[in-house]
Structure 1
Amino acid sequence: MSFRKITVKSGDEEITMNVTEEEYRNYFRPWWQQKKHDQRNREAMEQNGYTEESYEEWKENDMRTELFAESMEELAEKRMLLDVLRDAMDSLLPEERELAMKVFGEEMPLADYADMKGKNPRTLSDHKRKVLSKLRKFFVEHGFEIDSR
């Protein structure tokens, strides 16, 4: 097993430690991916005639516009939809709500949820269908069109 010596800096503190090659890659992989993504964006901008300074300015402005792009109408619509979703979840029984939150909201696989609860996955699959049916009925009653796939 190979080890690497790394130095971690935080403010004035600096720590040197030995880590395995696997730990090293797992730690740095997200950073490398983000760095590569930024490099590709910068290269694309430079091909279109922008300089690195204008890329940084564009990136900052782009992030600012994303944060403030929503109009008051869009925010009001989102708030209304969230209220309807909250009412829909409140219409479920507590165990149905938990199933919906874990399986639909957190996208937990049904098999994992069944293991967590110590129940049969087939039984929970039936419960999941019932919850979906209740939610569909709720949304239809409140004027939403539901795709019946």
Structure 2
Amino acid sequence: MAEKLRKVTIKSGKYEEEMELTQVQYGNYMRPWWQQKKREQRNRDVMEERGYSQESYDDWKDKYNDESTSMITSESVEELVEKNMELELLSKALESLMPEERDMAMSVLTGEVSLAEYARQHEAKRTTMSDKKSKVLHKLQNYFRSRGYEI
């Protein structure tokens, strides 16, 4: 027995085409849309049960969007600019180090790896790495002090 075909018209802008689909094809094509519509209906039902109407939700959404766009104040902009300047300075300070010193700074000083683990990875004594770490810190302190930052 031949499966029943269903005529479907697909429209997109000026484009329109008629197709014949089996029930299974039609279901597979429409299922995501049906699921989305069902979710939206459930959300509306729950909102109405809790006393919210579509209008009150739209009003809340509009108010929230207005508040969120005005949340950036001149103080927060100044703080962001200052943080960006400090991050840029830190980046330049790290660039001023030798590659192995930069590697140590990025690994040990950020807390990514303990000093003992870093020493094991580089097959060196922990005390030797501790001395190198102190030198790296001293270099970074001098870099920042020379640019007016007190550490």
TM-score for both structures, normalised by structure 2 = 0.50
State the AA in 2 paired with 1:76. V
State the AA in 1 paired with 2:143. F
Q: 1:107: how far off?
A: 4.1
Number of positions where the alignment pairs a residue of Structure 1 with one of Structure 2: 84
Of 141, 145, 148, 1:140 maps to 145
Partner of residue 133, structure 2:
128
State the AA in 1 paired with 2:103. E
Of 115, 120, 128, 2:120 maps to 115
- The structure with more radius of gyration: 2
Q: 1:68: how far off?
A: 5.5
**Deviation sequence 1:94-125 (CA, Å, 0-9, x none):** 00000000011134210011111111111111
Structure 2 spans left out of the alignment, 5+ residues: 1-63
State the AA in 2 paired with 1:90. E
Partner of residue 92, structure 2:
87
SS at match of 1:71: helix
Is structure 2 residue 109 aligned with structure 1 residue 104?
Answer: yes
Structure 1 spans left out of the alignment, 5+ residues: 1-60
The runs of at least 4 consecutive aligned structure 1 residues that moved more than 6 Å come to none
Partner of residue 47, structure 1:
none
Percent of pairs with identical residues: 47
Q: Which structure 2 residues correspond to residues 10-89 of structure 1 after superposition, within 5 A?
A: 71-89=76-94
Distance in 1 between residues matched to 2:112 and 2:123, nearest whole Å: 18
Please identify, of 116-125 and 137-146, the stretch whose mean Cα deviation from structure 2 is larger: 116-125
TM-score for both structures, normalised by structure 1 = 0.51
Distance in 2 between residues matched to 1:143 and 1:107, nearest whole Å: 28
Please identify, of 114-123 and 128-137, the stretch whose mean Cα deviation from structure 2 is larger: 114-123
